[in-house]
Amino acid sequence: MQNRFPFWKNLLILVTLFIGIIYALPNLFGNDPSVQVSSSTTTKLEQAKANEIESRLKNAGLTVKSFEFNDGKILARFNNTDEQLKAADLLRDSVGSNTTVALNLAPATPQWLRSLGASPMYLGLDLRGGVHFLLQVDMDAALKQAEDRYYNDIRSAFRAKKIRYQSVAKENGRIKIKLKSEKSSVAALELLSDDFRALKVTETEDPSVIFVKISEKEQKEIKKFALAQNMTTLRNRVNEIGVAEPVIQQQGDSRIVVQLPGVQDTTRAKEILGTTATLEYRLVDVEHDVQKAVNGRIPVGTRLFYEKDGRPILLKRRVIVTGDQIVDASSGLDQNGSAAVFITLNGIGAKKMGKMTRKNVGKPMAVVFIEYKSTTKIVNGQKIRRKEKIEKVISVATIRGTFSKRFQTTGLDSPQEARNLALLLRAGALAAPVDIVEERTVGPSLGQDNIDKGLMSVVVGFILVLVLMAVYYKTFGLIANVALGFNLIVIVAVLSLLQATLTLPGIAGIVLTVGMAVDANVLIFERIKEEIKIGNTPQSSIFIGYEKAFVTILDANITTLLVALVLFGFGTGPVKGFAITLSIGILVSLFTAIWGTRMLVNWMYGNRHIEKLSI
């Protein structure tokens, strides 16, 4: 009776194996080349649009393997990549400007498995192919933007508190404040200490002059926020262009890694990821002479800008609303058939816009398009990257009536420019400009070669372990081999359930697990052989072997698991992939080696008299 499992343990192991088989199965069916169509606005596609797209594909003579319409999104599957690319080109030219067409590889999992929530593992960039970007966040620009905000906030606060000052100017990373009286100096210091605690205030021998600078602690917070905000914005932009399973990770304290598996249009991806674009709405200054401003005499409270055709224009310095107050944007055509972007503001922006338009009906308002571009030039044999801030007035229109939350912006050169601008505004502005400092493209053929070699390594390692165990431990070796197969099935099932991304290092983790999975059985079987040698009965030897080896097995595997957790905590992409598969493999091998093989041994030898063990 000592080598019999209770019913619930047998049931648990068998149910685990059954569930493992079900959720590992989707990985056997591969992927279908597909085209995904979705709305580029907050409005979902309707059934009528889906029917229209399906008819277009059929009329073009394309063979559609299946056509799915779920939750306002369309997924058309094809038999090969040639038809996939033809369909994508056809749809991009015909579906309209507010629709996103993206290439995809959709799992070919049967419907009955999908209804159970079974999906295959995601494949990483090194297996599926795609593009890898390393982005450098311009932290100096983030600090300069923060300095500009504090500069404007200090001036506004002084005016609100009626503190008289001669000038507030930016000077070598500091803000120099020159006040008109000693009384004003005292009031200014009190205001700065109460409302601007993130600034470091430095007094001078002249009591009317104060220098303020962003504190070291605040600088760290600004850089940390810029990195986090940029990662969020990039993730939103990637979602907008329809890339499945993107990898967006922080690297160091100023860099971001972006991996886009399956992406074929790398130019489009670079354009969307690297562009820092936003809009500003300002009133036009119609009271002063533009030519005098061009000659250097710019009036107080205004700024000189240029329109797209090069004509100068004076705009009020005060910004009405900016791109970060835009909650939705879609592209389309205005009443004259010109490209336009339809804007929706948040509550604060809508309130500001409504108040401004109500007071300025009949006056012109300008839309300023702001973009940061990086250029690389060779100077003395060295690459020098320069950043350029481009500000151009894309539209000037007379305010005909009061509007606030929803309105349109025109003056764009093409529908494509309108689509890109709408996408960038929806995804949010980058907190600081980014530069693409490294770009690598991995072709899908290389990815398939990696998959084939990875699978071959697993198969070869698996077969070698099977042969060795069967030859050396005979019947018990065969039992360990069955448990090893169970182990692989459950590992794949767990990775699929977690929707983990499988990479080459992940495959290495699985291969290592295959070798480690039999370690526990080796310890158990050697202990059983020792018990037989000292004269214990076969049944007692089995019982003692499993009971006594348990602590040693646990110690060895916990040590390896801790190392895997450390790798996961401190490593980046590839190291994390290795650590995840290794950790899952260790936990699963403990279950299969101790409980799985024990169940099989008990079925074979338990509850009966035996004279000899085949070990």
Strand order from edge to edge, sheet including 199-203: 165-171, 174-179, 209-214, 199-203
Res 521: pLDDT: 82
Query: Is the confidence at residue 374, as pLDDT, over 70?
Result: no
Q: Indicate the fold that domain 275-441 takes in CATH.
A: Gyrase A; domain 2 (3.30.1360)
Domain 31-107 in CATH 1.20.1270.30? The answer is no
pLDDT band at 281 (very low <50, low <70, confident <90, very high): confident
Tally of CA atoms within 13 A in the half-sphere of 503 that contains its CB: 20
Query: Is the confidence at residue 189, as pLDDT, over 70?
Result: yes
Q: How many CB atoms lie within 10 A of CB 461?
A: 16
Query: Is the confidence at residue 42, as pLDDT, over 70?
Result: no
Res 420: pLDDT: 66
pLDDT band at 275 (very low <50, low <70, confident <90, very high): low
pLDDT in tens, 45-86: 788 888 888 888 888 888 888 888 887 788 888 888 788 888
Domain 140-218 in CATH 3.30.1360? The answer is yes
Q: Tell me the torsion sign for CA atoms 239, 241, 245, 249.
A: negative
Res 244: pLDDT: 56
pTM: 0.59
How would you classify the pairing of strands 434-442 and 130-137? antiparallel
pLDDT in tens, 486-520: 888 888 888 888 877 777 787 778 877 777 777 78
Query: Is the confidence at residue 303, as pLDDT, over 70?
Result: yes
Top mean pLDDT of 15-19, 140-144, 243-247, 373-377 is at: 15-19
| Residues pairing with 280 in the sheet | 322, 368
Closest of 17, 26, 20, 31 to residue 118, by C-alpha: 26
Res 202: pLDDT: 83
Res 429: pLDDT: 62
Cα–Cα dist 231/431, whole Å: 10
Write the CB contacts of 44 (distance below 8 Å, at least 6 apart in sequence).
71, 72, 73
Res 464: pLDDT: 84
Domain boundaries, the chain: 7-26+443-605, 31-107, 140-218, 275-441
Closest of 432, 437, 436 to residue 224, by C-alpha: 432
Res 445: pLDDT: 54
Give the three-class secondary structure for 282: strand
Write the CB contacts of 290 (distance below 8 Å, at least 6 apart in sequence).
304, 312, 313, 314
Tokens 């338009």 belong to which residue?
A: 357
Residue 279's Cβ-count burial label (10 Å; 0-12, 13-18, 19+) is buried
Mean residue pLDDT across the chain: 79
Give the residue-averaged pLDDT of 435-463: 72
Give the residue-averaged pLDDT of 34-43: 69
Give the residue-averaged pLDDT of 312-316: 89
Res 443: pLDDT: 61
Residues 393-424 as b/e (b if ≥16 CB within 10 A, e otherwise) read: bbbeeebeeebbeebbbbbbeebeebbbbbbb
Query: Is the confidence at residue 444, as pLDDT, over 60?
Result: no
Query: Is the confidence at residue 468, as pLDDT, over 70?
Result: yes
User: Is-contact 23 493, C-beta < 8 A?
Assistant: yes
Tally of CA atoms within 13 A in the half-sphere of 103 that contains its CB: 23
Res 211: pLDDT: 87
Q: What percent of the chain has pLDDT over 90?
A: 0
SS (H, E, C) 98-132: CEEEEEEEEECCCHHHHCCCCCCCEECHHHHCEEE
Question: Can you identify the CATH homologous superfamily of domain 7-26+443-605?
Answer: Multidrug efflux transporter AcrB transmembrane domain (1.20.1640.10)
Give the residue-averaged pLDDT of 251-270: 74
pLDDT in tens, 85-107: 888 888 877 776 567 777 777 78
Tokens of 558: 């916990």
Query: Is the confidence at residue 451, as pLDDT, over 80?
Result: no
Higher pLDDT, 193 or 416: 193
What's the one-letter identity of residue 29?
A: F
User: Is-contact 496 26, C-beta < 8 A?
Assistant: yes
Report CA Rg, the chain. Answer: 33
Tokens of 238: 């990637």
- The reply to whether domains 31-107 and 275-441 share a CATH topology is no
Res 423: pLDDT: 67
pLDDT band at 265 (very low <50, low <70, confident <90, very high): low
Res 428: pLDDT: 61
pLDDT band at 242 (very low <50, low <70, confident <90, very high): low
Query: Is the confidence at residue 19, as pLDDT, over 80?
Result: yes
pLDDT band at 240 (very low <50, low <70, confident <90, very high): low
Higher pLDDT, 198 or 420: 198
Higher pLDDT, 454 or 318: 318
Give the residue-averaged pLDDT of 175-183: 84
Higher pLDDT, 136 or 411: 136
Residue 566's Cβ-count burial label (10 Å; 0-12, 13-18, 19+) is exposed
pLDDT in tens, 538-594: 888 888 878 887 788 888 788 888 888 888 877 766 677 788 888 888 888 888 877
Give the residue-averaged pLDDT of 128-146: 82
Q: Which of 112-126, 372-386, 434-448 is predicted least confidently?
A: 372-386
Closest of 136, 218, 212 to residue 177, by C-alpha: 212
What's the one-letter identity of residue 22?
A: I
